[in-house]
Every structure is written in structure tokens, then in C-alpha cells.
Amino acid sequence: MSNTPYKQQYELSRLIECLCRQDGVHPTTIPSLFLIRESIITEPISRVNEPSFCIILQGEKEVLLGEERFLYGPGHYIVASVDLPVTGQVIKASADAPYLAFKLEFTSSQVLEVLNGTDFKTGQGKNAKRAMYVSEIEPSLLNAVVRLASLLGTPKHIPVLAPLLKKEILYWILQGPHGEALEQMALEGSNASRIREVIDHIINNYEESFRIEELAEIANMSVSSLHRHFKDVTAMSPIQFQKRLRLQEARRLLLAESLDVADVAFRVGYESQSQFSREYSRMFGFPPRVDIKRMRGHYV
């Protein structure tokens, strides 16, 4: 029996390899489930990570949240309980042993549905916890993941069984050692959920200037409490969070469209091109024009 988790991980990795012949993120016939394959070490990719659960079956990945580093590989999973601007890089992969991962996105309402159907001891007044964490995968959670992925081979069962298995996966994550971080984010009125409202506001209005007092009002907190809880959740201050969103979007625009650097700086909310270039270089390691030329060369 002790070898069962290793056998299940092996089965799941073979399934992903069979379904993903090419590198990339592959949507599946199960809504919000993605399979990922990379046969080379990737460039660091900056993006907003949606609330999700991801398990690696082969290879290793590094994720940066602010200045905090998360490293995980086979036998571990990572959870993001709210939208977060992160930088991720596959750091171990090869043609013979590609990076293979299973990613399931979810919403706070889906988490709340699980909580409402159980006798979890909830507490709204608790301090907010970091919205991203890595943990070892427990056999019960792995078993539910394998059963969900196996539905890809029997599509007729997906409409009925996939929603039940997603709930089971969320249940086991909530039962895990860091489940409280996910629970608090879903509970209406908790410190973490009030920070989530501030995060949503910044993401939806990242190009606009704001006063910290406005954000504190959204969270119904004092300015000092907002700063403390926001950093507990995101590992950043609200201003740092906004800056990362602006720079990530700027890089996306520069890569996707033939726009002038000054135009992009203005579109994401910068009034000074020189300040934009300095902060862009600090985050990505190269000035905007050099970085985009380098990135385009990498993806050719």
C-alpha cells in the first residue's frame, strides 16, 4: 500500500504525457482543468495567477510572489487562494523528462459551497494568511485528483462526476495543513476576504492612481490594519502590488502589439517614461526595448 501514491503519480504523469504531445498549457473537456507540459527550462513568465490548485508530477517550478520564493516538484502542490501577480519559471525539464503538471482553477463561491456543507470551525476575526502556499500532497487528495483526470477518458461521465470531484478536491485542500488560508479567503467578512475586495479593486483599476485611505475604506479597516493584512496575504504593499500589475501588463502589450514604449507607459498609468523604464528594468532585468527584442527572439 505504501507505494500507492507513487503509482498514482506515475499514472497521472503518463496520462498527461499521452494527452499533451506539445509543450504549453492545454485546456481540457473538464471546465477549469488544465494540463501543462514543458520539455525545456522556460523563461520567467509574469502573469496574474487566478485562484487555483496545481500539482507537479514531473520536473520542478519556481514561483516568485513579491520577494517570496516558492519551489515545488513531484509530490507537492501549490495553492493560490486569490488573484496574485506572480513570476513563474519551470527550472527542471527535458525532452526525455518533461515538466508535467495538473492545474485546477476555482472560485471563492465554490470554496464557500464546500464550507457550507461541512462542520468546519470557522472564525472571521482571524488574521489573514498568505494567499499562496506549497504543501506535500496527501494520499486522499491525490486520489481525488487522479479520479478527476481519469474522467478525460470517459467524457460522458464529466457533467455529473466532475463537479463532485472538484468539490472533493477542495474539501481535502481545506482539510490540509494550510487549509485555513483558503477558508478565510472565502468567508464573507473575514479579514482575508476584505483584502480580496481590495485586490479586486486594484486589479480592475490598476492604471489609476489611488489614495491608501480609499483602499482602507473598501476594506472597512484602518490604514495600518490594511497595510498589515494586505502584506500578510500578498507579501507586498498595495503600491507594490499595483506596480507589478502595471509592469506585467506593459510587458504583455509590448510583446503583443507594436506600440511605442512611451505609449505603453501612459496606458498602464505612468506619467513619466523614465520612471517606467527604471522600474521595468528593475523588475525584468532589462530596459523595455532590449527585453522585448530578447523575448521575441526567444519565442521565434
CA distance 212 to 206: 13
Question: Residue 253 domain-assigned?
Answer: yes
283 and 153 both lie in a single domain: no
169 and 26 both lie in a single domain: yes
Condensed to tens digits (0 to 9), the pLDDT of residues 188-233 reads: 889 999 999 999 999 999 999 999 999 999 999 999 999 999 999 9
- The whole domain housing 284 covers 240-299
Final residue in a domain of this structure, among 154, 185, 216? 185
143 and 12 both lie in a single domain: yes
Give CB contacts under 8 A, 24+ apart, made by 249-257: 249/206, 250/276, 250/280, 250/288, 251/46, 251/280, 251/284, 251/288, 251/291, 251/292, 251/295, 254/288, 254/291, 254/292, 255/292, 255/295, 255/296
Final residue in a domain of this structure, among 169, 185, 201? 185
Residue type, 36: I
Question: Residue 219 domain-assigned?
Answer: no
Q: Tell me how crowded residue 249 is: count the other CB atoms within 10 A of its CB.
A: 20
Q: What is the mean pLDDT of residues 54-79?
A: 95
Q: Is 0.85 surpassed by the pTM of this model?
A: yes
- Statement: residue 24 has pLDDT above 80: yes
How many domains are there within the chain?
Answer: 2
Residue type, 17: E
Confidence of residue 300 (pLDDT cuts 50, 70, 90): very low
